Structure 1
């Protein structure tokens, strides 16, 4: 495990470990690490959960309508398939 590119999310039901992929989305990985280090995600709920499909979080308003005050990032699409266990960033 690469500690520099690993996110740990503690939830009510246990810990989630996410391996970041700077090889696929370097700017998004840098932003997630920056926000996490600033405490942006601390206490933020998953505002949309569809059991067996996905959980969406990261909105400080808890509604999916908010974000950070940092500038928008350019899209970093890849051919990596979105299969079970893959994390993605939403775009407005």
Structure 2
């Protein structure tokens, strides 16, 4: 089990295959880290689907508007929404999009990231300086690797729960 150095900036994501520990990088992307913690603490990420999962590339989730598995869930709309909070400005850095890094999903506009994010399955350096990196998986990448593939997957996996380690 990995030692959690900064519980306030560590996310515990429960997936069906096991827990994933994500170290947030507030020194690199403070606004994105704060947003993730705010949405996690509000329970907004709980039961949200991985709506875009491309083998050899990444697993995308975080559509807190359309990505829940509740009665009104429509997989065709998952991935088109965000939170009711304002979009975030890009926080590009020199950090590469290596395997296990967390990137902010956005539209074609650099300052349009909100709640959606992706976890890189491989080194995806063609994304460098185009998408904000704000975290990295430090334990449990083998569980991320088991997420069902598809755009969208027919029976998508969900983030069962997403918590800030300081709160557990």
TM range (shorter): over 0.9
Structure 1: stretches of 5+ with no match in the other structure:
none
Q: Does 1:68 align with 2:65?
A: no
* Partners of 1:65 and 1:17 in 2: CA distance: 26
Distance in 2, Cα, partners of 1:56 & 1:41? 12
Aligned with residue 81 of structure 1, among 96, 108, 116: 96
Structure 2 residue runs without a partner (length 5+): 68-77, 108-168
| Number of equivalent positions | 92
Match for residue 14 of structure 1?
18
Greater relative contact order, per chain length (Cα 8 Å cut-off, separation 6+): 2
Aligned to 2:50: 46
**Equivalent residue, structure 2, for 1:58:** 62
How far apart, CA to CA, are the structure 1 residues paired with 2:18 and 2:53? 16
CA RMSD of the aligned region, Å? 1.0
Distance 1:53 1:9 in 2: 20
- Tell me the distance in 1 between the aligned counterparts of 2:16 and 2:48: 12
C-alpha displacement of 1:35: 0.7
Partner Cα distance (2:51, 2:96) in 1 = 24
Moved over 4 A (4+): none
Distance in structure 1 (CA, Å) of the matches to 2:37 and 2:81? 18
Deviation at 1:13, TM superposition (A): 1.3
Q: Deviations over 1:29-86 (max 9, x none)?
A: 0111001101110110111112332100001313210110101111100010111011
